[in-house]
Structure 1
Amino acid sequence: MPFVKIDLFEGRSEEQKIELAREVTEVVSRVAKAPKEAIHVFINDMPEGTYYPHGEMKKKN
């Protein structure tokens, strides 16, 4: 049962997240030979100020 976690800065519309989840599900199903019903996509909206690569805060562009 594949689980896919996607972290994005917040700001995507519900429609964008639905499309992303559907497309990811299609690819995982095709490549991993997993039934779509077994694939779970988690999209985490990260507020600005919660991502610190190399110890520096990353801001949205």
Structure 2
Amino acid sequence: MPIVQITLVKGRDSALVEDCVRRVARTVSDSLDAPLGTVRVVVNEVEPQHFAVGDRLKSDP
């Protein structure tokens, strides 16, 4: 049972995230020859002030 976790900064359109989840699930299923029904995809959305690249928060101007 493949499990994929994706972490995103909040703010993307919900439809885009849903499309990503479906595409990732199909890609993992195809590339690992795993039944689609066994693939799990979890999206964790974090607040911009809780995500940093180095010491720069995504919420910084």
Q: Give the TM-score normalised by the residue count of structure 2.
A: 0.82
Matched, 1:17 2:17: yes
Q: Which amino acid aligns with 2:26?
A: E
The 1:60/1:40 distance shift into structure 2, 3 A limit, reads farther
5+ unaligned residues in a row in structure 2: which ranges?
A: none
Change beyond 3 A, Cα 1:37–1:60: farther
Q: Counterpart in 2 of 1:43?
A: 43
State how many pairs are aligned: 61
Check conservation: 1:9, 1:60, Cα contact below 8 A.
Answer: no
Query: How much identity, in percent, do the aligned residues show?
Result: 26
1:43 and 1:60 map into 2 onto residues whose CA distance is: 23
Paired AA for residue 43 in structure 2:
I
- Identify, as 1 or 2, the structure richer in strand: 2
Moved over 6 A (4+): none
Gaps of 5+ in 1: none
TM-score (norm 1): 0.82
